[in-house]
């Protein structure tokens, strides 16, 4: 059983960091009014505005912000400003023991998947796969449902996803219960063969991605298959695959055909169509929490992520 971080209270301080690429600072600024609406104050990491090529500062600077926010007793939770690329570059230098000893809310997605997986493996804490400040919250497209899902940080609540939220499709039937793990498929694939390879044994594997053509998704799922990661999983929660249309080849398998080939053929509960990922609404979920996927009735229930 993973450690669930303490829930937020009105007046708590949130730490804001940019663990990967430089965030859009204008959108980050706009997102802060949402934190005000939630009754939260915030502390911005000292390196959030730094730019080092395609990275939000050097590896050492981004790692320093991450460590400082976990070590600071005045910070109740950490929300990432954005993703992009770069969190894996310093994963081997992260003090996961610090996070284990000071468990707190950690929220983000996309490139942040590498950090979620590391914390899941070595800090033993529940983390949150949800929309980020500059990338999502600061945009006009940020939806009411996405806003509402931040409520799970203030009150331990069971989440229920049904077709009332979006159309869902069964790839393979059955009902299964297990810990929810995973995130961005590209990042899960890049962790294979490293200390940060996702552990799917008896778990529900969540996957999502953006801008990856069917042949690329095929390659990444094949990598997971050959590493035994798909076989070890108990079921599959297939999130949003934005901009997944074939561009390079006139003739292509569809994304659906690829997903059916790798996931529908395993005879394990598998459902696609969840609005989890680079999409609006973005249904935020706690990774490391217990969940039940009912592929027969097309529903997903997830136990609370906070204490």
- Per the annotation, the verdict on 110 as an active-site residue is yes
Distance between CA 205 and CA 207 in Å, rounded? Answer: 6
Residue 147's H or E segment, with its range, is helix 144-148
Contact 96, 3 (CB under 8 A): no
Helices (H), 161-213: 185-190
- List 20, 21, 31, 110, catalytic entry: 110
- List 61, 208, 212, 213, catalytic entry: 208
Residue 107's H or E segment, with its range, is strand 105-108
- Per the annotation, the verdict on 158 as an active-site residue is no
Q: Can you give the length of the chain in residues?
A: 307
Contact 272, 208 (CB under 8 A): no
Contact 60, 163 (CB under 8 A): no
Distance between CA 23 and CA 279 in Å, rounded? Answer: 18
Distance between CA 206 and CA 217 in Å, rounded? Answer: 14
- Per the annotation, the verdict on 245 as an active-site residue is no
List the catalytic residues: 110, 208, 278
């Amino acid at each position: 059983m993973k450690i669930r971080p303490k829930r937020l209270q009105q007046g708590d301080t949130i730490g804001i960091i940019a663990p990967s690429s430089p965030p859009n600072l204008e959108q980050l600024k706009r997102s802060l009014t949402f934190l005000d609406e939630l009754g939260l104050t915030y502390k911005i990491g000292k390196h959030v505005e730094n730019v080092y090529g395609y990275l939000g500062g050097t590896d050492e600077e981004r790692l320093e912000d991450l460590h400082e926010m976990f070590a600071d007793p005045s910070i109740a939770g950490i929300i990432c400003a954005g993703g992009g690329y770069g969190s894996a570059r310093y994963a081997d230098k992260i003090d996961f023991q610090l996070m284990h000893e000071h468990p707190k809310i950690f929220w983000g997605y996309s490139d942040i998947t590498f950090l979620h997986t590391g914390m899941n493996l070595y800090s033993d804490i529940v983390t949150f796969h949800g929309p980020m400040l500059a990338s999502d919250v600061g945009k006009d497209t940020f939806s009411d449902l996405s806003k509402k899902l931040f409520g799970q940080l203030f009150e331990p609540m069971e989440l229920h996803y049904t077709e009332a939220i979006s159309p869902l499709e069964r790839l393979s039937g059955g009902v299964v219960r297990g810990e929810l793990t995973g995130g961005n498929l590209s990042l899960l694939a890049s962790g294979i063969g490293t200390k940060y390879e996702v552990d799917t044994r008896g778990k529900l594997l969540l996957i999502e991605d953006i801008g990856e053509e069917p042949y690329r998704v095929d390659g990444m799922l094949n990598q997971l298959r050959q590493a035994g990661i798909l076989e070890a999983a108990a079921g599959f929660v297939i999130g949003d695959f934005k901009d997944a249309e074939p561009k390079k080849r006139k003739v292509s398998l569809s994304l659906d055909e690829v997903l059916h080939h790798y996931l529908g053929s395993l005879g394990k509960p598998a459902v696609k169509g969840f609005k989890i990922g680079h999409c609006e609404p973005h249904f935020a979920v706690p990774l490391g929490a217990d969940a039940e996927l009912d592929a027969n009735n097309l529903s997903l229930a997830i136990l609370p992520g906070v204490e």
